[in-house]
Amino acid sequence: MKLSGWGRFPVVDSWALGYNHQTWWSESFIATGNHRSYGDAALAPVHLPILPRNRLIAFNEQSGLLTCEAGILLSEIIEMFLPRGWFLAVTPGTKLISVGGAVASDVHGKNHHIQGCFSEFVESFKLVVPNNQTKTCSRIDNPDLFYATCGGMGLTGIITQVSFYLKPVKSQWIEQTTIKTANLKHTFEAFEQYQDSPYSVAWIDCLASGESLGRSLLMVGDFAQDGDLDYQAKNNLTIPMDFPSFVLNSLSVKVFNSLYYGKAKKGESQQRLGIDAFFYPLDAINDWNRIYGKHGFVQFQFILPKAVSFDGLEVMLKRISQSGMGSFLAVLKLYGAENQNWLSFPMGGYSLALDFKMQSGLVTFIRELTDLVVQLGGRVYLAKDALLTREQFEQSYPKVEQFRALRKDMRLDAHFQSLLSQRLGL
Amino acid sequence: MTESPWLLVLGANSDMAIATAKRYAQAGFNLYLASRNLEECEKNATDIRLRYQVEVQSFKFDAQDFISHADFYASLVVRPQGVVLAFGFMADQKVAQNDFALVKAMIDINYTGAVSILEIIAADFEQRQSGFIVGISSVAGDRGRMSNYIYGSTKAAFSNYLAGLRHRLIQSSVSVLTIKPGFVATKMTADLDLPAKLTAKPEQVANTIFKAVEEKKSTVYVKPIWRLIMLIIVHLPNLVFHKTKM
């Protein structure tokens, strides 16, 4: 079958391994979840679908510790537990990912600046390594495997079971404040001003230039203290076909950007939103990746250390604006300190995430941007990446040699391979 | 407040059975899950209990151990309001042609075992004048075909049995539903390239069962196209049929 990541680029012919583990060890493969990583992290000629393993195993009503098989989707967990007053302690911008995928990409969300990555709430997990050995990994048991696996892009084994903490909430509603900023400096000031707010993210108008460069809508918020927990997932819109390529040209993106920015009130405004509208706005549209047409798109997410964030972003935004390559979504966020995981993406600083429709000249352009990111001491998010070079990777992920050594020692490199691992020499 | 009704699921570890159990749990049913593999069954029971906060009990049940069936049914503290018979066994046709043990296992599980337990349950439902019985049969039973006729014949017998049982129990307000799923995407077929238009998801099978029981349907093909396909296959004249390899 044809397989691709959420960006629909690249595409690979892949066949699925069966449920029975006896068939697993004769060739290399990668375990896959819901195929929501954007690039080639979950692509390989052979893959092992993990979604069929989706049972709950235990839940502690006092501590919120949930133990489940790795194939369960975050959306299922929300549907089951939000009505009982529990929510994910860390959630990325889509709920349509598996718990195993959340660990493998060590995902993060709007509360990274306070709570860190998904792995901070993982107590332990079970990892199947070659020849069906199951390792229980935590910060105490097999700590190396723990730190390598969280963020390890599935290259250390098959994550089959995860124990992690949910957090108690009193409402299914979020109290949000939207701050409309005029330029990049103003945006940074607003982030600093609201850094105690539990959730924050800015939508940035990448195509604005001159004095408006970096103008944004900063959205901060937290769960309401009152309200109901009567949560029900809604039916979604579906994009029924690939949009023709001309739909998303730079002009239409510019118009979209202006309308989005323009509709927000000046200064600060307050809203009360459901969790889906606040955390997962794009999940409301099934297959939204099809708006980029059949050639797919590349999402480019990088982070810069805080000290160089402002100057660096100014340069990056100018180049993106000049390129006219059009980015539908650009998300800016202030992050908290980095964790101990060997390949996790976040570090203390600002991250920008943008989509580019696949087009001629894009690969070169992104490689140039990446060079700049790496020079500035930043890095690119592997869960979204399809274009990072081995050199760029080695310069920006300092624990890569540790990771390679572990793979070699445990003979993981012979069994777990993806296009990403081959591209980056992992 | 009336107590929640119970559903008995026989052969509870298959993906179709699990999905059906979940669908009924969602509707507030408590569950008896019965399977040969008790350890696996208990895992599924825990999952459903945590998801839907209903009562779920698991039991060891062996379709081939006929004499145990009466005691098994008597051990259920609260009589179930419905039963879903989801156990079944399909051996590869070519292998079975040379191994009668496999043939006998298919007959014993798919037909004899099914009749054995359902007769016990039918007697109870008939006496209580209420209940529903769901049998998961197969399109393979609609016409014997060289590629699958031994399994198919056990399902033909089972479908025929269900038809008669329906006839008998209609006077007692007990409904009997025959489900013919066609291809189903399960963890056992994950590595097969099944044609998408002909393949149902387990959740689809579950929803179909739930709805068909409510509407007191008799025989339902999960994907309606299968009714058409089988109609054609059943009516193909031998002259044509014998030239095919299906």
CB pairs under 8 A between A and B: 34
For A268: left if phi > 0, alpha if psi spans -120 to 50, otherwise beta; the answer is beta
Check pLDDT > 60 for residue B150. Answer: yes
Each residue of A210-222: pLDDT tens digit?
899 999 999 999 9
Q: Which of B15, B191, B199, B201 to mutate to test the interface with A (most CBs of A within 10 A)?
A: B191
Contact: A55, B43; criterion CB under 8 Å: yes
Each residue of A88-127: pLDDT tens digit?
999 999 999 999 999 999 999 999 999 999 999 999 999 9
Which pLDDT score, from 0 to 100, does residue A240 have? 67
Question: Where residue A258 falls among pLDDT bands split at 50, 70, 90?
Answer: low
Contact: B44, A18; criterion CB under 8 Å: no
Q: Which residue of A has its CA nearest to B51?
A: A80
The alpha-helical segments, DSSP class H, found in A306-389 are 306-323, 362-375
Check pLDDT > 70 for residue A380. Answer: yes
Tell how far CA A62 is from the center of its chain. 29
Q: What share of chain B is helix, strand, coil (3-state, %, to 5)?
A: 50, 15, 30
Average pLDDT in chain B: 95
Q: At a CB cut-off of 8 Å and minimum separation 6, what does A311 contact? A: none
Output B124 or A16, whichever has higher pLDDT: B124
Q: What Rg, from alpha-carbon coordinates, does chain A have?
A: 21
Contact: A16, B47; criterion CB under 8 Å: no
Of B46, B188, B190, the CB nearest to A56: B46
Question: Where residue A265 falls among pLDDT bands split at 50, 70, 90?
Answer: confident
Which pLDDT score, from 0 to 100, does residue B32 have? 98
Question: Where residue A329 falls among pLDDT bands split at 50, 70, 90?
Answer: low
Nearest-CA neighbor of A278 among A195, A221, A226, A330? A221
Question: Where residue A209 falls among pLDDT bands split at 50, 70, 90?
Answer: confident
Check pLDDT > 70 for residue A328. Answer: no
Phi, psi angle pair for A353, to nearest 5°? -125, 130
Which pLDDT score, from 0 to 100, does residue A323 have? 86
Q: What share of chain A is helix, strand, coil (3-state, %, to 5)?
A: 30, 25, 40
Greatest Cα-to-Cα distance within chain B, rounded to the nearest angstrom? 63
Which pLDDT score, from 0 to 100, does residue A257 have? 60
Check pLDDT > 70 for residue A202. Answer: yes
Q: Which of A13, A15, A19, A69 to mutate to test the interface with B (most CBs of B within 10 A)?
A: A19
Which pLDDT score, from 0 to 100, does residue A330 have? 85
Contact: A55, B44; criterion CB under 8 Å: yes
DSSP character at residue B13: T
Q: Is A46 an 8 Å CB contact of chain B? A: no
ipTM score of complex: 0.87
Which pLDDT score, from 0 to 100, does residue B2 have? 64
Mean pLDDT of A62-91: 97
Using alpha carbons only, give the angle A272, A337, A341 rounded to the nearest 5 degrees. Answer: 110
Contact: B47, A1; criterion CB under 8 Å: no
Q: Which of A267-276, B148-157, B196-205 has the highest mean pLDDT?
A: B148-157
In DSSP terms, which residues pair with A48 in a beta bridge? A31
Nearest-CA neighbor of A31 among A420, A418, A419, A421? A418
Contact: B46, A57; criterion CB under 8 Å: yes
Output A226 or A335, whichever has higher pLDDT: A335
Question: Where residue B189 falls among pLDDT bands split at 50, 70, 90?
Answer: confident
Contact: B50, A58; criterion CB under 8 Å: yes
| Secondary structure class of B230 (helix, strand, coil) | helix
Which pLDDT score, from 0 to 100, does residue A285 have? 74
Which pLDDT score, from 0 to 100, does residue A339 have? 97
Q: Are A225 and A214 spatial neighbours (Cβ–Cβ below 8 Å)? A: no
Out of A146-155, A238-247, B43-52, B184-193, least confident range: A238-247
Of A18, A55, A58, the CB nearest to B191: A18
| Secondary structure class of A344 (helix, strand, coil) | coil
> In percent, how much of chain B has pLDDT > 70?
98
Q: Which residue of B has its CA nearest to A18?
A: B191
Phi, psi angle pair for A340, to nearest 5°? -85, -5
Kindly state the tokens that stand for A356: 């580019």
Tell how far CA B142 is from the center of its chain. 16
Check pLDDT > 70 for residue A83. Answer: yes
Nearest-CA neighbor of B133 among B172, B98, B103? B172
Distance from CA of A69 to the nearest CA of B (A): 10
Phi, psi angle pair for A279, to nearest 5°? -95, -30
Q: For the purposes of burial, counting CB atoms within 10 Å of the CB of A100, is it exposed (0-12), middle (13-18) or buried (19 or more)?
A: buried
Question: Where residue B1 falls among pLDDT bands split at 50, 70, 90?
Answer: very low
Contact: A16, B43; criterion CB under 8 Å: no
**Start-to-end Cα distance in chain B:** 54
Check pLDDT > 70 for residue A247. Answer: no
Per-residue CA distances from A409 to A110, A414, B193 (Å): 36, 11, 36
Out of A11-15, A187-191, B114-118, least confident range: A11-15
Distance from CA of B26 to the nearest CA of A (A): 11
Question: Where residue A338 falls among pLDDT bands split at 50, 70, 90?
Answer: very high
The alpha-helical segments, DSSP class H, found in A244-386 are 250-263, 275-279, 306-323, 362-375
Mean pLDDT of A121-143: 97
Q: For the purposes of burial, counting CB atoms within 10 Å of the CB of B39, is it exposed (0-12), middle (13-18) or buried (19 or more)?
A: exposed
Q: For the purposes of burial, counting CB atoms within 10 Å of the CB of A300, is it exposed (0-12), middle (13-18) or buried (19 or more)?
A: buried
Contact: A59, B50; criterion CB under 8 Å: yes
Q: What residues in A contact B188, CB-CB < 8 Å?
A: 18-19
